[in-house]
Structure 1
Amino acid sequence: MIYSTFKKIKCVVLDVDGVLTNGTILVNEEGHQLRAFNVKDGYAIQYAVRQGLLVFVITGGRSQGVLSRFEGLHVPEIHLGVSDKLTLLKELLVRYGLSLGEVAFIGDDMPDYTCMKAVGAAISPADAVEDIKKVSHYVSTKSGGEGVVRETIEKILRLQDKWHSEVLIKSV
């Protein structure tokens, strides 16, 4: 069931902390927040963008480092400090001419719940909170920060015949 849904996905929406990171936030002496991102997730994101899959980041966090990371991956929509993710998501979908059924949302905790209930494909990391796992169409074998985004994007693009090894090799 989820694989037929993945074939229809035109947009992947990502939470950050607990999805693209393991949820740990380090704070240095100056008060700057530091996060570790998985390079394989980053590669899949930038490849997906080049293949025409829309990737949006919607997070409650407000870190300049998060903004810089996703600008560098050419993510077209990066929204920080968002408390009502579903309202923003609906606004973005109108702008891009998409429906909720064409969206995959990867989330791990309760701020993601309403979006995950509304979209065509709700995906969570293996270490997501139980309420999120219950509403997920697919629970990854990977924990947050350990490649859940890569796994998901690769599955979507393979099912859409857009994950091409020869292109991947040339793009490195």
Structure 2
Amino acid sequence: MEISYKQLLANISTFIFDVDGVLTNGMLTIMPDGELVRHMNVKDGYAMKTALNKGFRVCIISGGTNQAVKSRLAALGISDIYLGAHNKIVQYTEIIEKYKLKPDNVLYMGDDIPDVPVMQKVGLPSCPNDAVPEVQKAARYISDYKGGEGCVRDVIEQVLKVQRKWDNYFDATL
């Protein structure tokens, strides 16, 4: 009998997320000066901050190089932020070795083809519901939410609820 994705949630200690198409909706607004503007969901930010405060690791591996994205994520307390990553397996391996993790303890969420090699290595590969077909095929869990519209909150909340770490809404450390 195949293990359901719900059973895998109890093993997760580390979340790794792509940015464009996961933490954002994948759309770029190009400003007159050439600056690229992305939109992130504050509910995803709250969930990542909550996960960090509850002792989980949150890491970012993105092909993008926007420093404003890095500043936003660092402000949430995320320290493992890898930008300009085009062969994401390199950064994934660095994270695994740095923290002596087992792949079964990692949930990765991506939305496009560069995410597939990492998804094939982790315990719980996941994606937003608007990910490309190749990514959906590689995923053990497909969120009901689109990229930038709460898919990150969805997976974090599920893990924390299964591990009974979500229910303290009035935790003063948040």
- The one-letter code sitting in structure 2 at the alignment partner of 1:7 is A
Q: Counterpart of 1:17? A: 20
The alignment status of 1:154 with 2:168, answered yes or no, reads no
Q: 1:142 aligns with which of 142, 145, 157?
A: 145
Q: Counterpart of 2:35? A: 32
For 1:57-100, what per-residue CA distance to the aligned partner results, in whole angstroms no more than 9, with x for missing partners?
Answer: 00000001110110110012001000111121111111111011
Q: Tell me, which stretches of 5 or more residues in structure 2 are unaligned?
A: none
State the alpha-carbon separation in 1 of the partners of residues 170 and 14 from structure 2: 21
State the identity as a percent. Answer: 38
State the alpha-carbon separation in 2 of the partners of residues 13 and 37 from structure 1: 16
Contact persistence 1:54–1:76 (CA under 8 A): no
Q: Counterpart of 1:89? A: 92
State the alpha-carbon separation in 2 of the partners of residues 166 and 113 from structure 1: 35
- TM normalised by structure 2 equals 0.95
Q: Tell me, which stretches of 5 or more residues in structure 1 are unaligned?
A: none
- TM normalised by structure 1 equals 0.96
Q: 2:65 aligns with which of 62, 65, 80?
A: 62
Q: 2:125 aligns with which of 119, 122, 130?
A: 122
Structure 1 SS opposite 2:126: strand
Contact persistence 1:25–1:34 (CA under 8 A): yes
State the alpha-carbon separation in 2 of the partners of residues 48 and 119 from structure 1: 19
Where has structure 1 moved over 4 Å in runs of 4 or more?
Answer: none
- The one-letter code sitting in structure 1 at the alignment partner of 2:80 is E
For 1:13-35, what per-residue CA distance to the aligned partner results, in whole angstroms no more than 9, with x for missing partners?
Answer: 00000001110011111111110
CA RMSD of the aligned region, Å? 1.1
Higher helix share: 1
1:165 is displaced (CA, Å) by 3.2
The alignment status of 1:51 with 2:54, answered yes or no, reads yes
Q: Counterpart of 2:80? A: 77
For 1:82-134, what per-residue CA distance to the aligned partner results, in whole angstroms no more than 9, with x for missing partners?
Answer: 01111211111111110111100000000100001110001110100001001
Distance verdict in 2 for CA 1:165–1:65, change over 3 Å: same
State the alpha-carbon separation in 2 of the partners of residues 87 and 166 from structure 1: 37
Q: Counterpart of 1:111? A: 114
For 1:121-165, what per-residue CA distance to the aligned partner results, in whole angstroms no more than 9, with x for missing partners?
Answer: 011101000010011000010011100000100000111111123
